[in-house]
C-alpha cells in the first residue's frame, strides 16, 4: 500500500535515525537515497545533510570537492546537491563562486576557485548573460553583427576552457546554451537558417568543439534538460527579474539531479551490472500462468510499454552495463520466452548471469555478483514487485534499487532517469564488455575440463601487449583507476587530466596492458603507474580488471616494470599495498614475487625488490607481443 | 498552535532553517524587515512552493516578515484555488 508522501517521508526519516542508532550506516545511506528520490527539496536536503555529517565522521565515503560557477543566483542549489550526493555515498565540499564572476574566477590563476582545488567544476552560464544581444535584441542586429557576436561568444568560451585547463586538473561540466521560450522573430525564426534558435544550436556545436580540445571537459545539454520538463515549468520570470534566480523550485531539483549524473562517474560511483526480474518487468503477465501467447511484449500496447523498457535496458548493455536475470520462475518456461518469443528485444546472449529459481533474491544477487566478479555495491536491481525491492533494500543496502512506478507505461522513463549508469566517456572496452563476459563463460567451461592449472593457462594461448600509455588510451586508463577495486594495490583514483599530465612528465611511467586469448580480445585490462626517483622506481598504481584476475597476467606486467627499471639504471623497485575492503585478492602479490616488506604504516605496507640482484620472469605460457622497453627505445 | 497550516509551515521552516519549532513562531520582526535573511527566505519559499503547490510573487516575498504572516499567505493562496 502506498503511503501519502509526507507520511512516507516521516517513516523514512525515522528509519534513517533508527539505522544510524543501530550503526547500520549503509542502511541509513540507502534510506537517504529513497527519501531523496521520493521528496527532494530544501527541507529534505537539510535533514539528509545533517545526518550525512554525522555519517561522515563515522564512516567516511568518497569525498569530492565541487565548485559551482554561474551567471545567476544558484545558492539554493547548494544544499540540494549536497544532499543528493550524500545519499549516493559522496561527501561533497562545495564552493559557490561569486554572482556572475565565473570569467574572473577562471581566468585568474590565483582565484578562490583554484585555491579551493576542486575535483569537479560546474559552469552554468545563461545565454542571456553570456551575450545579451543574441538573446534580447537580436532583431536590432544585422546578419554581420549576429555573426560577430556569436563568434565573440565562441572565442570567449574557448579561451575560458584553455585557461581552466592550464590552472586546474578538475573535471569541468559546462551547461550548454538554452534558447528563449519565444524566438524574437516569431514563426519567421524557423524559416531561416540564420534564425535565433538555429544560431543557439550552432553555438552549442562550437561549445562542444571547444570542449573536445581538452580532456575532461563535458557538456551538459541544458536545452534538452529544460525540454524534458517543459520551459514553462522551468522558468520563474518573477524571481529572475527580482532576485536573478531564473528557476522554479522543481527545476532546481531537476538541475541537481542532472548534476548528479556527472558527479557519480566523476567520483567513481558507477553501477556495473543491472539485475532484472522477468514477469511483469521484462514482459507483462506471468509466463508460468499466461504462457507464450498470453504474456504481453511486442510492438502493440500494452506489450509496447515493456518493449520500451527492454529497449532502454539494451541501450545500457550497449553502453557496457552487464545484464543479469534474477527471477522466481520455472526455468524452462522463462527460457522459452527469452529464446523464442517474437516480441522480445532482449535474448539469452545479452545476460552475463542467470538465476531463474525459487531462491531468495538476496542470495541470488550475491551469487550473481560473485559470478560476475564484481562487488555487490556495483549492482542495480530492477523489479516490479515492491516487496522484493524492499527486501533487497533491507538486506543489501549497498545495491541500487530502482524505484518503479505502478504503471508500466512509465517504466522506461524511470530507468532512463536513474543516474547510476552514467559514464563520462565511453571506451571501446565499455562497448565490448558484455561480449567479454560471454567469452568468459567459455573460458570457465574450459577450466573445468582441463587438468592442472598450468595446462589451463597454456590452453588459453594468452598474448599480452604491455606499452607506454598513448594519448587515446588516457580515458580508459583513468576509468580503470576509477573503477577497479579488487586487483588494485593502492586504489588511487585518477582523472583523465591527471593521467595525461603523468604521461607528459619524465618522472612518471604509465603502462597499459592488453590481453588476447583463444576466445577473444580482452582489450585494455591492466595499468600501472610508476614514479621514477633517481635509483628508485615506486609503483604508485598497479591494477588489473577483474575479468583477467587469476591468469598470471599480473606477473607479466610486474616483470616488464622490473626489467625496464633495471635497464634504466634503477636499483630498487618499491611497491605499496594499501588494503581496502575489496582488494584482498592483491594482498599477497608483492610477497609472492620476492619483494620484502620494509615498512608498515597503519595498514599500508611498503615492499622492496632489488632489481640488480633479482629478476621477475614472465610466465612461459604468456606470449609477450611487445614490451614497454621496445616501445621506449 | 492548532491551525494545521501554521503547524505545517512552522515545521517546514524549522527544518529548512534548523531552528526549533517553538522559537520559530514566536520570533517577531522589526517592522518592515524579515526575521529571515534573504537566502533563508528563498530556501523556505522554495520548500513551501513544493509542499503546498503554490507560487509566491516578488511582492509576496516582501511581505513575509514572520512565520504566522507566511502561514496566512499560504492559507489565502490555498483557499483562492
Min Cα separation A333/chain B (Å): 47
φ/ψ bin of A269: left (φ > 0), alpha (ψ from -120 to 50), beta (otherwise) = beta
Mean pLDDT over A79-105 rounds to 96
Q: Which of B16, B57, B58 sits opposite A42 (nearest CB)?
A: B16
Banded pLDDT at A534 (limits 50, 70, 90):
confident
Q: Is B51 on the interface with A (CB under 8 A)?
A: yes
Terminal Cα-to-Cα distance of chain B (whole angstroms)? 24
pLDDT at A79 over 80: yes
Convert A80-93 into a string of H (helix), E (strand) and C (coil): HHHHHHHHCCEEEE
What SS3 class is residue A238? helix
What SS3 class is residue A623? strand
Q: Is B7 on the interface with A (CB under 8 A)?
A: no
For residue A40 the three cell numbers come to 527532494
Task: Count residue pairs from A and B with Cβ separation < 8 A.
Answer: 45
Query: What's the pLDDT score for residue A529?
Result: 96
* Relative orientation angle of helices B38-52 and B4-17, to the nearest 10 degrees: 130
Q: What are phi and psi of B58, to 5 degrees?
A: -55, -35
User: CB–CB of A243 and B18 under 8 A?
Assistant: no
Other beta carbons less than 10 A from residue A262's beta carbon? 20
Q: Rounded CA gap, A214 and B15, in Å?
A: 43
Q: Is B60 on the interface with A (CB under 8 A)?
A: no
* Ranges A112-126, A339-353, A436-450, A547-561: which has the least confidence: A436-450
* Ranges A87-101, A394-408, A610-624, B45-59: which has the least confidence: A610-624
What SS3 class is residue A473? helix
Q: Rounded CA gap, A80 and A94, in Å?
A: 11
Min Cα separation B30/chain A (Å): 22
Q: Rounded CA gap, A284 and A267, in Å?
A: 37
CA B9 to chain centre: 6
Q: Rounded CA gap, A268 and A62, in Å?
A: 9
* Ranges A170-174, A324-328, A405-409, A614-618: which has the least confidence: A614-618
Banded pLDDT at B27 (limits 50, 70, 90):
low
Q: Rounded CA gap, A627 and A556, in Å?
A: 10
User: CB–CB of A76 and B12 under 8 A?
Assistant: no
Query: What's the pLDDT score for residue A632?
Result: 42
Q: Is A156 exposed, middle or buried (0-12, 13-18, 19+ CB in 10 A)?
A: middle
Q: Rounded CA gap, A456 and A572, in Å?
A: 34
Terminal Cα-to-Cα distance of chain A (whole angstroms)? 69
Q: Rounded CA gap, A165 and A497, in Å?
A: 9
Beta-strand (E) ranges in A97-202?
120-124, 171-175
Query: What's the pLDDT score for residue B33?
Result: 54
Kindly report, residue by residue over A549-584, the tens digit of the pLDDT.
Answer: 878 899 999 999 999 999 999 999 999 999 988 888
Q: Rounded CA gap, A350 and A18, in Å?
A: 40
Other beta carbons less than 10 A from residue A603's beta carbon? 9
Q: Which of A46, A242, A252 sits opposite B58 (nearest CB)?
A: A242
Chain B residues lying within 8 Å of A41, measured CB to CB: 46-47, 50-51
Q: What are phi and psi of A183, to 5 degrees?
A: -60, 140
| Nearest chain B alpha carbon to A239 | B58
State the average pLDDT for chain A.
Answer: 91
Min Cα separation A8/chain B (Å): 14
Gyration radius from chain B CA atoms: 11
pLDDT at A633 over 50: no
User: CB–CB of B38 and A242 under 8 A?
Assistant: no
Q: For residue A574, what are the β-bridge partners?
A: A538, A608
Predicted ipTM beyond 0.85:
yes
For residue B36 the three cell numbers come to 529571515
Other beta carbons less than 10 A from residue A140's beta carbon? 9
Q: CB of A555 within 8 A of CB of A469?
A: no
Q: Rounded CA gap, A436 and A416, in Å?
A: 25
With DSSP H G I counted as helix, E B as strand and the rest as coil, what are the percentages for chain B, rounded to 5?
Answer: 65, 0, 35
Kindly report, residue by residue over B29-81, the tens digit of the pLDDT.
Answer: 555 555 677 888 999 999 999 999 999 999 999 888 888 899 999 999 999 98
Kindly report, residue by residue over A511-532, the tens digit of the pLDDT.
Answer: 999 998 887 788 899 999 999 9
Pick from B78, B75, B74: nearest CA to B61: B74
Min Cα separation B42/chain A (Å): 7
Pick from A372, A401, A366: nearest CA to A276: A401
Q: For residue A538, what are the β-bridge partners?
A: A531, A574
Kindly report, residue by residue over A409-459, the tens digit of the pLDDT.
Answer: 999 999 999 999 999 987 766 767 766 776 776 677 677 676 677 887 888
Q: Is B61 on the interface with A (CB under 8 A)?
A: yes
CA A152 to chain centre: 34
User: CB–CB of B16 and A75 under 8 A?
Assistant: no
Mean pLDDT over A463-468 rounds to 93
Query: What's the pLDDT score for residue B1?
Result: 60
Instruction: Provide the CB-side half-sphere exposure for A380 (13 A, CA).
Output: 22
Other beta carbons less than 10 A from residue A481's beta carbon? 22
For residue A260 the three cell numbers come to 548528479
pLDDT at A255 over 90: yes
Instruction: Provide the CB-side half-sphere exposure for A590 (13 A, CA).
Output: 27
The string of DSSP letters for A313-339 reads HHHHHHTT-EEEEEEES-HHHHHHHHH
H/E stretch holding A62 reads: strand A62-70
Banded pLDDT at A82 (limits 50, 70, 90):
very high
User: CB–CB of A43 and B46 under 8 A?
Assistant: no
Chain A residues lying within 8 Å of B45, measured CB to CB: 249
Residue for grid cell 585547463: A165
CA A513 to chain centre: 22
Q: For residue B30, what are the β-bridge partners?
A: none
Share of chain A above pLDDT 70, in %: 96
User: CB–CB of A76 and B15 under 8 A?
Assistant: no
Banded pLDDT at A2 (limits 50, 70, 90):
very low
The string of DSSP letters for A551-603 reads SSHHHHHHHHHHHHHHHTT--EEEEEE---SS-GGGTTHHHHTT-EEEEEETT
Q: Rounded CA gap, A71 and A100, in Å?
A: 4
User: CB–CB of B50 and A245 under 8 A?
Assistant: no
| Nearest chain A alpha carbon to B41 | A76
Amino acid at each position: 500500500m502506498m503511503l501519502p508522501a509526507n507520511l512516507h517521508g516521516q517513516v523514512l526519516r525515522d528509519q534513517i535515525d533508527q539505522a544510524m542508532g543501530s550503526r547500520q550506516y549503509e542502511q541509513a545511506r540507502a534510506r537517504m537515497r529513497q527519501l531523496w528520490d521520493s521528496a527532494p527539496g530544501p527541507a529534505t536536503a537539510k535533514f539528509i545533510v545533517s545526518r550525512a555529517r554525522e555519517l561522515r565522521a563515522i564512516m567516511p565515503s568518497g569525498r569530492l570537492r565541487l565548485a559551482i560557477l554561474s551567471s545567476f543566483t544558484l545558492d539554493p542549489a547548494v544544499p540540494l546537491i549536497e544532499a543528493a550526493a550524500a545519499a549516493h555515498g559522496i561527501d561533497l565540499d562545495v564552493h559557490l563562486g561569486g554572482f556572475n564572476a565565473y570569467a574572473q574566477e577562471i581566468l585568474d590563476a590565483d582565484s578562490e576557485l583554484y585555491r579551493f582545488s576542486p575535483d569537479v567544476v560546474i559552469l552554468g552560464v545563461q545565454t542571456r548573460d553570456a551575450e545579451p544581444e543574441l538573446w534580447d535584441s537580436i532583431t536590432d542586429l544585422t546578419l554581420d553583427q549576429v555573426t560577430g557576436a556569436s563568434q565573440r561568444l565562441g572565442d570567449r568560451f574557448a579561451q575560458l576552457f584553455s585557461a581552466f585547463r592550464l590552472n586546474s586538473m578538475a573535471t569541468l561540466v559546462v551547461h550548454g546554451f538554452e534558447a528563449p521560450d519565444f524566438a524574437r522573430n516569431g514563426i519567421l525564426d524557423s524559416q531561416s537558417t540564420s534564425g535565433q534558435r538555429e544560431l543557439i544550436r550552432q553555438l552549442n556545436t562550437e561549445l562542444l568543439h571547444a570542449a573536445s580540445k581538452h580532456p575532461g571537459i563535458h557538456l551538459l545539454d541544458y536545452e534538452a534538460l529544460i525540454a524534458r520538463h517543459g520551459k514553462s515549468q522551468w522558468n520563474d520570470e518573477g524571481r529572475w527579474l527580482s532576485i536573478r534566480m531564473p528557476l522554479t523550485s522543481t527545476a532546481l531539483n531537476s538541475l541537481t539531479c542532472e548534476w548528479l549524473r556527472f558527479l557519480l562517474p566523476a567520483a567513481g560511483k558507477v553501477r556495473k551490472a543491472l539485475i532484472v526480474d522477468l514477469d511483469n518487468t521484462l514482459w507483462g503477465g506471468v509466463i508460468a500462468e499466461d504462457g507464450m501467447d498470453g504474456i504481453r511484449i511486442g510492438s502493440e500496447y500494452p506489450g509496447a510499454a515493456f518493449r520500451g523498457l527492454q529497449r532502454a535496458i539494451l541501450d545500457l548493455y550497449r553502453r557496457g552495463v552487464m545484464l543479469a536475470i534474477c527471477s522466481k520462475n520455472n526455468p524452462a518456461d522463462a527460457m522459452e520466452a527469452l529464446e523464442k518469443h517474437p516480441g522480445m528485444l532482449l535474448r539469452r546472449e545479452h545476460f552475463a548471469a542467470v538465476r531463474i529459481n525459487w531462491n531468495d533474491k538476496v542470495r541470488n544477487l550475491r551469487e550473481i555478483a560473485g559470478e560476475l566478479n564484481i562487488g555487490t555495491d556495483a549492482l542495480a536491481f530492477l523489479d516490479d514487485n515492491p516487496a522484493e525491492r524492499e527486501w533487497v533494500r533491507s538486506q543489501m543496502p549497498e545495491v541500487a534499487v530502482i524505484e518503479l512506478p505502478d504503471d508500466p507505461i512509465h517504466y522506461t522513463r524511470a530507468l532512463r532517469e536513474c543516474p547510476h549508469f552514467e559514464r563520462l566517456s565511453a571506451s571501446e572496452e565499455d562497448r565490448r564488455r558484455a561480449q567479454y563476459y560471454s567469452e568468459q563463460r567459455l573460458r570457465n567451461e574450459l577450466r573445468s575440463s582441463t587438468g592442472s592449472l598450468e595446462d589451463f593457462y597454456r590452453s588459453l594461448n594468452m598474448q599480452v601487449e604491455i606499452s607506454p600509455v598513448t594519448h587515446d588510451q588516457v580515458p580508459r586508463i583513468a576509468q580503470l583507476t576509477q573503477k577497479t577495486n579488487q586487483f588494485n594495490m593502492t586504489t588511487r583514483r585518477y582523472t583523465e587530466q591527471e593521467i595525461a599530465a603523468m604521461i607528459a612528465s619524465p618522472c612518471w611511467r604509465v603502462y597499459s596492458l592488453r590481453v588476447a586469448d583463444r576466445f577473444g580480445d580482452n582489450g585494455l585490462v591492466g595499468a600501472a603507474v610508476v614514479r621514477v626517483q633517481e635509483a628508485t622506481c615506486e609503483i604508485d598504481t598497479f591494477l588489473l580488471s577483474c575479468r583477467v584476475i587469476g591468469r598470471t597476467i599480473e606477473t607479466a606486467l610486474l616483470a616488464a616494470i622490473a626489467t625496464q627499471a633495471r635497464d634504466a639504471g634503477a636499483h630498487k623497485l618499491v611497491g605499496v599495498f594499501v588494503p581496502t575492503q575489496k582488494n584482498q585478492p592483491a594482498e599477497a602479490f608483492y610477497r609472492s614475487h620476492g619483494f620484502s616488506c620494509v615498512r608498515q604504516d597503519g595498514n599500508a605496507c611498503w615492499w622492496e625488490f632489488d632489481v640488480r640482484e633479482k629478476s621477475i620472469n614472465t610466465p612461459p605460457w604468456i606470449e609477450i607481443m611487445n614490451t614497454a622497453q621496445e616501445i621506449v627505445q | 498552535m492548532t491551525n494545521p497550516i501554521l503547524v505545517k509551515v512552522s515545521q517546514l521552516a524549522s527544518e529548512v532553517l534548523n531552528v526549533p519549532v517553538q522559537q520559530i513562531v514566536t520570533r517577531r520582526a522589526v517592522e518592515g524587515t524579515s526575521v529571515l535573511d534573504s537566502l533563508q527566505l528563498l530556501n523556505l519559499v522554495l520548500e513551501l512552493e513544493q509542499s503546498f503547490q503554490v507560487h509566491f510573487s516578488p511582492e509576496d516575498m516582501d511581505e513575509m516578515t514572520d512565520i504566522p504572516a507566511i502561514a496566512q499567505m499560504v492559507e489565502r493562496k490555498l483557499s483562492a484555488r
